[in-house]
Amino acid sequence: MTWLENNSDWVVELTIQHLFLALAAIVASVVLAVAVGRVAYVRPRVRQPILAAASVVYAIPALPLLIVIPLVLGVPLRSPTTLVVALTLYGTALLVGTVVDAFSTVDAGVRDSAVAMGYGRQALFWRVELPLSVPVLLSGIRVVTVSTVGLVTIGALVGISSLGTLLTDGFQRGITSEILIGVLMTMALALALDGALVALGRLLTRWQPRRRRRARTPLGSTEVIV
Amino acid sequence: MTTFLDALTWIADPANWGGAQGISARLLQHLAVTLVAVLAASALAIPLGILIGHTRRGRGVVVALAGAVRAIPTLGLLTLLALLLGVGVEAPLLALVALAVPSVLAGAYAGIESAEPAAVDAARAMGMSELQIVRNVELPLGAGVLVGGLRAATLQVVATATLAAYTSDTGLGRYLFIGLKARDYPQMLAGAILVAVLALLLDRLLATAQDRASRLAHSTEGTP
Amino acid sequence: MGIEFRNVGKTYRDGTVAVADFSHVVASHRIAALVGSSGSGKTTLLRMVNRMIDPSNGTVLIDDEDIQGLDKVRLRRRIGYVPQAGGLLPHRTVVDNVATVPVLNGTSRATARGNALDLLTLVGLDASLASRYPAQLSGGQQQRVAVARALAADPNILLMDEPFGAVDPIVRRELQDQLLRVQAELGKTIVIVTHDVDEAFRLADDVVVLRTGGVVAQSGTPQSILASPADAFVRDFVGADRPERTLTTTEVDGQRLVVDADGRPVGILR
């Protein structure tokens, strides 16, 4: 691990770049997916076309997506924008279906009584439907987060700097420990963000009956998501 | 737009289709690698998934493990194995199998588990053996979910097989990396288009299979 | 004054007629019950009052004002509503559920919570439940919270849609008694929808028996309906011929005992 000692500053720098690229794409995915998913939920007629489009986008491998985007947007291939846009498309495609499911889980009786009490459309969305869809939404956001953090590394193949740079650089120079550090740091970042989301979820869903928490074994802190 | 046309022209050019480096050869190679990886992963993960789904034991461990595997950057696994095993096709193949296992496994146990406990209980009460329960009740009811797992795994493998061309002279991804190195955008784009089309076709194919498999469950419902 | 249905009807786009032509006046400060089996249009009529459903024809007036001209959301905020299964917001504590409408109306959260605590006492709930979430309450407790919530903005009108339909008979009885106590204190104009004739007779000053499509079979006080059912439908619906409604007296040990048609004792006639 002498490699790490000699290059720790660089690793920190790449980790920060990686974090920003991933966060930008994750936040954009969530915002976009909630907006698109909301439309799909509210208008059943466009739901199927939207979900079909999402599954098509999701089926396109990330690297080809990365190569097509500069042509469509006119940004340079090596620009971070390219990567963030590609990962946002990907994340949105992955999340849209979950958003529709999440809104569908909101109890119709609760929605109805909220309207009857005098919630307007805006208030209904922000104060009733969105908070109530958090549990399902969050499970989807966790998947997108882990996937996005991993996919950021692919940017290194076209020269967008991130922890992925350690993978390509390590491969070209034949330094196993460099790759290993890249892999471990990427995983650590993914798991840290995932942990943060779990904590946030606990905070936002204190109203839910805690069957799952009680079922947890004293040893395992692993949350079981099906 | 011109780049796009250039890429299409490149694909349409018969000269680019023949030979060991041609599109047909690379397409077949890409398909073969995908198929072998998914089959190998299935051979490992489907029996294990059925066991977990049927006994409902060990799911926590598997979920945690699958979560950890999903957090591994695919490029990292590819480059690491390439350094350890050399530039042949073995390293990417091993990586692809490792990456496909969690999806297949999740599909298998979730599928088996999706069978209604009441149906399973009734089958047991009728005198079916555990093996018969799996074959006659749980598998037909969970087939759709199981194929869904295979579909997710296949998508993952097709995509990752593209990256595998970075470390080994395998599949359609090679055009991307040749184009990238030579700053030949049309060739790079042609590679991207070919991979995307292949992925979409496979996804449609497996989506259809998933639909058929799901219908299997509905036709079984109601019959003892 | 009160709530007036003037020739209202509701036809859905697929041609289903939920309510054909219904007219009725619900007097202020009284409890009116709309009773009927499913398909009688009773819930449709109730939901016209807070414009959850707009009539296809006819008008609904509150205190002589046509509500069609009013803003839906504002109208709803001044009408209390109790749905069948509580409809509490699962992500809000009990006290915040009760404070919902006042807060929507711009009352400060602290004030609204203070009032909410008083309302919880009024509906017979212990203040210690205030910080719980709905999922931590029993069905009966949830329904009490729903009543408190409907009263929170001090509305003149309370709409109740099968309010006690989802709880067991013993709890239902307690909730009915509680409602009558609250009504004795507050004197709201209450419209209650139920398929349970006994509930309607127990709670309402004014009962409207509906046939399919919102056709009034008979309306009047519980006494008048039971005393002289308009026709065989009403007679059958209110169970005028049921054993427990056909009482006779008999003398036992010098007391005049009231018994039902099966001879089971009901009470003593003084």
pLDDT in tens, B66-115: 788 888 999 999 999 999 998 788 889 999 999 899 999 989 998 998 88
**pLDDT at position A1:** 64
How many Cβ atoms sit within 10 Å of the Cβ of residue B52?
23
Contact between chains at C73 and A109 (C-beta distance less than 8 A): no
Considering chain B, what is the average pLDDT of its residues?
A: 87
Q: How close A8 gets to chain B, by Cα (Å)?
A: 19
Q: Which residues of B touch A64 (CB under 8 A)?
A: 162, 176, 191-193, 195-196
A105 touches chain C (CB under 8 A): no
Contact between chains at C90 and A208 (C-beta distance less than 8 A): yes
Q: Which DSSP category does A207 fall into?
A: T
Residues B71 and B67: their CA atoms lie apart, in Å, by 6
Share of chain C above pLDDT 90, in %: 76
With bands split at pLDDT 50, 70 and 90, how would you rate the model's confidence at B218? low
Residue pair B179/B187 in contact (Cβ under 8 Å)? The answer is: yes
A128 vs C89, C134, C159: nearest CB: C89
The yes-or-no verdict on residue B4 having pLDDT over 60 is yes
* Among B52, B69, B79, B198, the residue to mutate for chain A (most A Cβ within 10 A): B79
Q: Phi and psi dihedrals of C16, rounded to 5?
A: -65, 130
Chain A 39-58, residues with CB within 8 Å of chain B CB atoms: 55-56, 58
A90-115 pLDDT, tens per residue?
999 999 999 999 999 999 999 999 99
Contact between chains at A118 and C85 (C-beta distance less than 8 A): no
Residue pair A190/A153 in contact (Cβ under 8 Å)? The answer is: no
Residue pair B39/B207 in contact (Cβ under 8 Å)? The answer is: no
A191-200 pLDDT, tens per residue?
999 999 999 9
Domains and CATH numbers, chain C: 3-241 (3.40.50.300), 242-270 (no CATH)
Chain C, nearest residue to A121 by Cα: C73
**pLDDT at position A206:** 86
C76 touches chain A (CB under 8 A): yes
Residues A72 and C188: their CA atoms lie apart, in Å, by 64
CA dihedral B154, B158, B161, B162 (to 10 degrees): -160
A116 vs C50, C74, C90: nearest CB: C50
Q: How close A126 gets to chain B, by Cα (Å)?
A: 31
Q: How close A56 gets to chain C, by Cα (Å)?
A: 35
Q: Which amino acid is at C72?
A: K
Contact between chains at A119 and C104 (C-beta distance less than 8 A): yes
Helix (H, G, I), strand (E, B) or coil at A5: helix
Share of chain B above pLDDT 90, in %: 37
The arithmetic mean of pLDDT across residues C230-237, rounded, is: 92
Contact between chains at A207 and C135 (C-beta distance less than 8 A): yes
C87 vs A113, A206, A208: nearest CB: A113
Q: Which residues of B touch A147 (CB under 8 A)?
A: 70
Nearest 5°: CA angle at B72, between B91 and A26?
135
The arithmetic mean of pLDDT across residues B151-170, rounded, is: 90
Chain A, nearest residue to B73 by Cα: A150
The arithmetic mean of pLDDT across residues A172-190, rounded, is: 95
**What residues contact C110, with CB distance under 8 A and at least 6 apart?**
none
C36-78 pLDDT, tens per residue?
988 899 999 999 999 999 999 999 999 999 999 999 999 999 9
Considering chain C, what is the average pLDDT of its residues?
A: 92
**What residues contact C189, with CB distance under 8 A and at least 6 apart?**
C2, C3, C26, C27, C28, C29, C30, C156, C157, C158
CA atoms within 13 A on the CB side of A126: 5
Contact between chains at A187 and B71 (C-beta distance less than 8 A): yes
Chain B, nearest residue to A175 by Cα: B83
- What ipTM was reported for this prediction? 0.84
With bands split at pLDDT 50, 70 and 90, how would you rate the model's confidence at B154? very high
C51 touches chain A (CB under 8 A): no
C136 touches chain A (CB under 8 A): yes
With bands split at pLDDT 50, 70 and 90, how would you rate the model's confidence at B1? low
Q: How close C90 gets to chain A, by Cα (Å)?
A: 6
Helices B139-164 and B74-85: crossing angle in degrees, nearest 10, is 70
Q: A50 is written with which tokens? A: 């939207």
**C105 burial type by CB count under 10 A (0-12 exposed, 13-18 middle, 19+ buried):** middle
Residue A35 or residue A211, greater confidence: A35
A208 touches chain C (CB under 8 A): yes
The arithmetic mean of pLDDT across residues B187-198, rounded, is: 90
Residue from C225, C193, C216, C233 nearest C42 by CA: C193
Share of chain B above pLDDT 70, in %: 96
Beta strands in chain B, from DSSP E residues, in sequence order: none
Sign of CA dihedral C32, C36, C38, C40: negative
Residues C256 and C266: their CA atoms lie apart, in Å, by 11
A209 touches chain C (CB under 8 A): yes
Chain A, nearest residue to B65 by Cα: A222
Q: How close A164 gets to chain C, by Cα (Å)?
A: 41
Residue from A162, A190, A153 nearest A63 by CA: A153
**What residues contact B13, with CB distance under 8 A and at least 6 apart?**
none
Residues A138 and A18: their CA atoms lie apart, in Å, by 22
Pairing of strands C189-194, C206-211: unpaired
Contact between chains at A55 and B73 (C-beta distance less than 8 A): no
The yes-or-no verdict on residue C90 having pLDDT over 70 is yes
Fold (topology level) of B2-220: MetI-like fold (1.10.3720)
* Among A72, A94, A139, A179, the residue to mutate for chain B (most B Cβ within 10 A): A179
Residue from C142, C164, C186, C169 nearest C31 by CA: C186
